[in-house]
Amino acid sequence: MAERLKLLGDKTRLTIVAYLKERALCVCDIVELMHTSQPNISQHLRKLKAAGIVNETRKGQWIYYSLTVDDKPYIQEILRHLPSLKEQVDQLKNTCD
């Protein structure tokens, strides 16, 4: 639990999780939302996946990331307190399509 909470102590990873709370996103969506590089986002997603916080699903040539926290009530509680980023996610240009 401590390692997972430590991962969420990073502002970038916590923001990624907040976006994924709204819906599954591909790397290019997250890059657009966060205005940073693809390698940077991929590195953070790799750490979140290794910790079992996010999951990958392939759709065509794209890999979509989603939260996998059903078995982690302590992370669900953190998510409950995060501000909604739904409006930003809804405005995505869908550059991955």
The domain that holds 22 is classified in CATH as: 1.10.10.10
3-class DSSP state of 45: helix
Q: What are 16-50's pLDDT values in tens digits?
A: 999 999 999 999 999 999 999 999 999 999 999 99
Q: For the whole prediction, is pTM greater than 0.85?
A: yes
On whether residue 28 sits in a domain, the answer given is yes
- Band of the pLDDT at 60, cuts 50, 70, 90? confident
Write the single-letter amino acid at 28: C
Domain that holds residue 25: 2-82
pLDDT at residue 81, rounded to an integer: 95
Q: Based on the structure, what is the number of domains in the chain?
A: 1
Whether 96 has a pLDDT exceeding 70, the answer reads: no
Token reading at 21: 């709370």
Which pLDDT score, from 0 to 100, does residue 94 have?
63
Q: Residue 30: its pLDDT value, please?
A: 96
Residue 18 lies in a domain: yes
Identify residue 1 by its one-letter amino acid code: M
In terms of C-beta density within 10 A (0-12 exposed, 13-18 middle, 19 or more buried), how is residue 85 classed?
middle
Judge whether residue 3 has pLDDT over 80. yes
